[in-house]
Each structure stands twice: as C-alpha cells, then as structure tokens.
Amino acid sequence: MSMSVAEANHKKKEESLRLAIAVSLLRSKIQNRQSSSSSTSRCDVLSETDALRWKQKAKERKKEIIRLQENLKDAESSFHRDLFPANASCKCYFFDDLGAFSGRRIGEASEARFNDVLRRRFLRLEPKYEEEAEHLRISIDFLLKLSEADSNASNFSNWSHQAVDFILASLKNLISMGRNLESVEESISSMITQLITRMCTPFRLNEVKQLETSVGFYVQHLIRKLASEPYIGQRAIFATSQRISSLAENLLFMDPFDESFSFSEMDECMFILIQLTEFLICDYLLPWAENEAFETVMFEEWISSIVHARKAVAALEERNGLYLLYMDRVTGELAKRVGQITSFREVEPAILDKLLAYPE
C-alpha cells in the first residue's frame, strides 16, 4: 500500500517537472520571437534613417555643385569683362544701324568706352612702335579671319566689334608717333581691299538664320565703323570708287546673254559699293574735315576717283539707269558738303569744278 503512494508521488513530481520544462520552453520560444521581431523593427528603422540621411547628403552635394558652377560662370564672366570690358563697343549696339544712315558720328562712343583694363592688356600704357604695329597687324588678321566665308556667324557678331576697336586704337597711336607710316598704309590698304572683296562675294556666312542678312551688308558695316578714323575712311572711299569703275567697265563689255554670268550678283555688288560710298560721305566728311590729321591730297584723289566712277556708270545708263541715279545722289551729297566747309577751298579748283558740275 505504501509503495503505491510513493509511486503516485513520483509520478506527480515527474508531471510537474515536465510541465515546468514545457512552460520554460514555451517562454523561451516567445522571447526569441519577440527578440527577432524587435531586431527586425530596429533594422527597418535604421534603414529608413540611413536612406533619409543619404538623400539629404545628395541634395546638399547637388546644391554645392550648382553653387560651384555659378561661381565658375561668374569667374569666367569677370575674366571676359576684364579682358574685353563691357564698356567697349558691344555687339548689343554695334550692328544696330546696319544699312541705315547714322544720326551720330560712328566711332565716338567706341572711342570713349575703352577703359584702363583694355588699354593695359592690349595697347599698353607706353607702347613702342614695333609693338603697336604688331598689335595692328594681329587685329587686322583677326578681323579678316572673322569675315571669311567659313567663319562661324556667332563668332563674327560677337568679336568683330572688338577687332574694330583694337584696329582704331592701334592706328591712332601709330599715327601719333608719326614715323614709318608706309607699312601702316600697306596694312590698312590691304585690309580695305580684302574687306571690299569679301563684301562683294556672293556668299552667306554659316548659321545665316542668325544673321538674317547678306554677309555683304555686315562687312559693309565693319568698313563704316573703321572709317570713323579718316586715315581708313578716305582710303576706303578711294578703293570703293575704284571698284565701282572697274565693275562698270566689266559690265559694259559683258555679254548680256552669257548664262554663266550672274547679273543679279553684279547688281547687288554695285549697289552695296555705291551705298557704302554714300554712307561714308554722309557720316564722316564733315567731322573728317575738323580733324587735324585730315589728308587733303588723299581727299583730292578720291574725289577724282568718284568723278571717274560716275562717268563709268553713266556709260551703263541704257543697260541700268539706276546706277547713274545712285551715283548722282552720291556726287550731289558730296558737292553739298564740300560747299559747306571753307577748308576745302584749298583743294585744286579743277577737281572741285568737275565735282560741282553734277547736280546736287
């Protein structure tokens, strides 16, 4: 009987132990699951935090890049203004009066708008003749390069006004030095000849949609700007009138039925040459006469050349009477201005008589 009670007690102890073990295992499993879930939650939270932090860093880096790009642009702009200052002749107004008569003296604004930085960098404060002559040649070569047929249109419109200013400044310095002007005249005459040839070339620059005008009129405008200096202007009129005479003689002996010959191109060339002559006379003859360096001998030469050009054009009256009308207008404007200036009375009377023989 006693053995049965002992066995029963033993069995109860074993069941209690098993139950305790089972409870312990169950609690362990629950704790493990809670720990795993908590760890996963913490990882998710950390992942989201890291992502936000990196996004913020990316935004800050992008802002920094943008700021550096803006600083770089400002630095480049400052360098450009330092080398080519904004108060030099600017493309914003350089071509504004393209193909139209000017109500002011072209060149005065350009002359006054050079600043000290431009003079230091390009002209120098105490130039020697050789250095200044080299500046002139480089500037002329640069301008001629810009006006070539394959030149980029944006470069032409952006930089041609700078080249004009450089040429005018260097030429004035060289003239003031007053020595070895033969090489200067050679450079200027060559430049005028090449520009006139380019002006009459039936071709358009690249990106013509940006220019929207025949390149000849842009080159014509360059010559007008350069002609603010009488040393260039008088030689430009002489060369232009010579080209008018030559063109008129070629047209006179040209077969009108020759299909290989483009009369429309010749007409455009003749018109732009006569128009340039009229522009230069109307824009500059009076201010030229006030210049102490005005060359009376050169003045007499180009007046005689214009009179000869008028005669050459008159021979074409039956073929195209407009040429003669245009040239009569030019000689009329010239005679009107010559009569207004007392200093021109010193000019050879025979030359003035020929000019004044044409109606004003």
Of 163, 72, 175, the C-alpha closest to 118 is 163
Q: How confident is the model at residue 3 (pLDDT cuts 50, 70, 90)?
A: low
Identify the band that residue 252 occupies on the pLDDT scale cut at 50, 70 and 90.
confident
The pLDDT confidence band at residue 79, using thresholds 50, 70 and 90, is very low
Task: Name the packing angle between helices 129-146 and 181-199 (round to 10°).
Answer: 10
Between CA 263 and CA 251 the distance in angstroms is 9
Cβ-Cβ contacts under 8 Å for 132 (sequence gap 6 or more): 123, 170, 173, 174, 177
In this prediction, residues 229-255 reach a mean pLDDT of 91
- For the segment 273-304, what is each residue's pLDDT rounded down to a tens digit? 999 999 999 999 999 988 888 898 899 899 99
Compute the distance between CA of residue 347 and CA of residue 83 in angstroms, rounded to an integer: 44
Q: How many domains does the chain have?
A: 1
pLDDT given for residue 82 in this prediction: 47
| CB within 8 Å of 314: residues ≥ 6 apart | 324, 327
Please report the pLDDT score of residue 256 as a whole number: 67
Amino acid at 173: N
| C-alpha dist (Å) from residue 227 to 163, 171, 232 | 14, 12, 5
**3-state secondary structure at position 293:** coil
Residue 107 backbone class (left: φ over 0; alpha: ψ -120 to 50; beta: rest): left
Q: Whole-angstrom Cα distance, residue 329 to residue 358? A: 10
Residue-wise pLDDT for 15-46, tens only, equals 666 766 766 777 776 766 666 555 555 555 55
Phi/psi-derived region of residue 212, left when phi > 0, alpha when psi is between -120 and 50, beta in every other case: left
Within a 10 A sphere around the Cβ of 207, how many other Cβ atoms?
14
Closest CA to 249 of 338, 309, 298, 182: 309
Residue 123 in any domain: the answer is: yes
DSSP label of 151: S
Percentage with pLDDT > 70 across the chain: 60
Residue 49 lies in a domain: no
Identity of the highest mean pLDDT range in 53-57, 273-277, 294-298, 343-347: 273-277
Average pLDDT over residues 224-237: 95
Range of the domain at 177: 112-357
For the record, the structure tokens of 164 come out as 């004009």
pTM: 0.64
Mean pLDDT of the region 85-113: 54
Residue 196 lies inside a defined structural domain of this protein: yes
In a domain, 56, yes or no: no
**Among candidates 360, 237, 255, which has minimal Cα distance to 308?**
237
Q: What pLDDT was estimated at residue 287?
A: 92
- Asked whether residue 290 is domain-assigned, the answer is yes
Tell me if 301 is assigned to some domain.
Answer: yes
* CA neighbours closer than 13 Å in the CB half-sphere of residue 342: 0
Q: What is the mean pLDDT of residues 153-170?
A: 83
Average pLDDT, the chain: 75
Q: Confirm whether 55 is domain-assigned.
A: no
**pLDDT attached to residue 358:** 58
Confidence of residue 123 (pLDDT cuts 50, 70, 90): very low
Highest mean pLDDT among 64-78, 212-226, 284-298, 332-346: 284-298
* Residue tagged 């139950």 (tokens): 19
Q: Does residue 220 lie within any of the structural domains?
A: yes
CA–CA distance, 69 with 230 (Å, rounded to integer): 46
Query: Per-residue confidence at 132, pLDDT binned at 50, 70, 90?
Result: confident
